[in-house]
Amino acid sequence: MNLYLCAVMAGVTTLLLGGCASAPLTTASTLSSSDQLKPGKTGRTTTTEYRDGPALAQVKRVYLHPTELVTGDAARYTLKDDEKELVLAEVEAQLCFELAERYELVREPGQSDAEVTSAVTWFEPTGTAGSGAAAAVNFFIPGPLGVRLPGSLGGLGGEAEMTADKRQIAAIVWARQAQAVGTDSPSLSRLGDALQFAEPFADDVARVMSPDPLPQQKTYTAANDPCAEYGDRIQASGFIFDKVTGVYIPSGRKKTPTGEASDKSAIQ
């Protein structure tokens, strides 16, 4: 334990000075237009955003397109096929969960008032060795904030837009990188940070795409859940492991026709 503590304490000053750097927004875009985007959040999450409030108020039914992956230089890291499947499935699932609380999700574009497209624009792998050491230190030094070691900080970048009659009515470009000091859980998977950031990405997408005032939140049963193909909204095994050990374990969610999503660990 002492060796772990000494290693962390020696680097705490450096981590505190550099631990709050903003994640970079990418220049690549799948959006139909970026002309109306304005600066939004800054800090550990960085966004540019646009929303047409009156147009959003007219939307009741939404079609969610599959999430895409931007490749090339802007992606920063190339995903293997199995990694791509995991990241895209998690992002798409979280978008479905959030949007379904606000809108009726339909199966065909022709049934919708608006369509939502999304893309993962960059991916920063989580350093697994540094994350393991940080988790051990955090276990012995409990508190609201954890410490992440250099080389272990992963991240995710994404963008999404809603269009109605082929006109953009909401859009967001989003990026987040794990912080050296904060509440981001370390992970033993190199996809760990990207996967756990899928939910806050979807939260911000849904925020930008929601009318004001918010409609009454929709609830579903297993029989009528439009997001059943993505499995459970909360992956219990990974959630419990995180709370007990402080280590985030991705569930390895996969989109399936029946909604029986895989719950295998995504440690790689």
- Mean pLDDT in consecutive groups of 10 residues from the start of the chain, 268 residues: 46 46 71 95 91 98 96 71 89 96 96 98 70 41 46 82 98 84 56 87 98 91 91 58 43 62 41
Asked whether the beta carbons of 170 and 40 are under 8 A apart, the reply is no
Exposed, middle or buried, 175 (CB in 10 Å: 0-12/13-18/19+)? buried
As a whole number of angstroms, the distance between CA 161 and CA 23 comes to 20
Answer whether 0.75 is exceeded by the pTM. Answer: yes
Could you tell me which of 176, 169, 175 has the C-alpha nearest to residue 103?
169
Q: Contact, 191 vs 126, CB < 8 A?
A: yes
Q: Which DSSP state fits 200?
A: H
Report the C-alpha gap between 230 and 259 in whole angstroms: 5
Closest CA to 47 of 55, 59, 39: 39
Consecutive H or E run containing 160: strand 155-164
Continuous H helices in 45-188? 53-56, 81-100, 128-140
Alpha helix ranges (H) inside 148-197: 192-196
Distance of CA 74 to the CA centre of its chain: 18
For residue 249, the model assigns a pLDDT of 53
At 5, phi and psi to the nearest 5? -60, -45
pLDDT reported for residue 255:
75
Specify whether the CB–CB gap between 163 and 57 falls below 8 A: no
DSSP type of residue 174: E
| Per-residue exposure over 93-109, b if at least 16 CB sit within 10 Å of its own CB, e if not | bbbbbbbbbbbebbeee
Residue 218, number of CB atoms within 10 A of its CB: 13
CATH number 3.30.160 is the correct assignment for the domain at 24-226:
yes
CA–CA separation, 28 vs 46, rounded Å?
Answer: 15
Q: Determine the pLDDT at residue 50.
A: 98
